[in-house]
Amino acid sequence: MTQTRRTKSREKILAAGERLFLEHAYLGTSMDAVTEAAGVSKQTVYAHFASKEALFLSVVAHMVGSSTDMHSDMVKTPSPDTPLPEYLRAYARENLRIAMTPRLMQIRRLVIGELPRFPELAESLWTHGPAASIAMLTEALVLYQASGEAKAGDPARLAAQFNWLVMGGPTSEAMLLGDAALPSLEEQERHADECTQIFLAAIATRD
C-alpha cells in the first residue's frame, strides 16, 4: 500500500469512526460497523488501529486538534496598536463562534460521557480548549497592564473570569439543551459585546 493510499484509508476510518462514535458513543460502536462505514477491509482497519480503544482515542484527538488549530488561527496575541476594547470584543466573538457549533458540543458531550473510561481525553480537551484560550488572554492582559490600558491585578485570574463570563452561559445551555439552544451569530455577537462592556468597566483605565 502506497503512503497516499494509506493516508486516505486512515482518513476514511477516522471519518467513519467520528460519525459512529458521535451517534452511538463508545459502547454502541463496533469495529465491524466502522469497517463497513469506512468502506475498507477489517485488515486495513486493524493495520491502522489495533483496537477500538486506540481508534476512539485517535478520533477524539483528531477532532480536538482540528478545533485547536481553528482557535489558534482566529484568536491571536494582540498587536501593539490594538486597543483593549477591540481585542476583548474580538476574543469573545471568536471564542463563541468556534465553540458554539453542533460538532464541538458533540465532542464535549462524548468526552464527558466517557470520562470514567478515558480521563485523558477530558484533560486533552481542557488543555487544548478553555485552558489554551485563557492562557492566550492572560498573555494579552499582561501586555495591556504594562501599557497602562488595564488595571493591575492577577492576569491569569482576570483572564479566566472574562473567559467564563463569555462562555459559561451559552456553553451550559447548549450542552444541556441541545443544538436548539445554540445561539445565532447575531446573539453571539450581542452577548460578546455585552460581556466586553461589563469586563471593561472593571479593568479598563480609561473610557
**Would you say 162 and 88 are in contact if contact means Cβ atoms under 8 Å apart?**
yes
3-state secondary structure of 96: helix
We report the CATH number of the domain holding residue 9 as 1.10.10.60
147 and 195: one domain?
Answer: yes
In whole angstroms, how large is the CA radius of gyration of the chain?
20
Give the range among 3-7, 28-32, 111-115 with minimum mean pLDDT: 3-7
We report the CATH number of the domain holding residue 163 as 1.10.357.10
Structural domain total, the chain: 2
129 and 74: one domain?
Answer: yes
What local confidence, expressed as pLDDT, does residue 206 receive?
A: 79
In a domain, 9, yes or no: yes
28 and 74: one domain?
Answer: no
Tell which residue, 202, 197, 198, has the closest CA to residue 86. Answer: 197
What local confidence, expressed as pLDDT, does residue 70 receive?
A: 61
- The residue among 199 and 23 whose pLDDT is bigger is 199
What local confidence, expressed as pLDDT, does residue 6 receive?
A: 82
19 and 44: one domain?
Answer: yes
Tell which residue, 42, 176, 159, 154, has the closest CA to residue 108. Answer: 176
User: Beta partners for 150?
Assistant: 204
70 and 155: one domain?
Answer: yes
110 and 193: one domain?
Answer: yes
93 and 193: one domain?
Answer: yes
Task: Identify the band that residue 200 occupies on the pLDDT scale cut at 50, 70 and 90.
Answer: very high
64 and 150: one domain?
Answer: yes
103 and 80: one domain?
Answer: yes
What local confidence, expressed as pLDDT, does residue 9 receive?
A: 92
Q: Which three cell numbers stand for residue 98?
A: 468556534
Asked if pLDDT for residue 11 goes beyond 70, the answer is: yes
28 and 75: one domain?
Answer: no
Task: Identify the band that residue 77 occupies on the pLDDT scale cut at 50, 70 and 90.
Answer: confident
Asked if pLDDT for residue 124 goes beyond 70, the answer is: yes
The boundaries of the domain holding residue 11 are: 1-50
In a domain, 55, yes or no: no
67 and 31: one domain?
Answer: no
**Mean pLDDT, range 185-206, rounded to an integer:** 96
**Mean pLDDT, range 9-34, rounded to an integer:** 93
Rounded to the nearest 10°, the torsion over CA 116, 120, 124, 130 is 40
Q: At what angle do helices 84-99 and 185-203 cross, to 10 degrees?
A: 140
19 and 112: one domain?
Answer: no
Residue 189 phi/psi, 5° resolution?
Answer: -65, -40
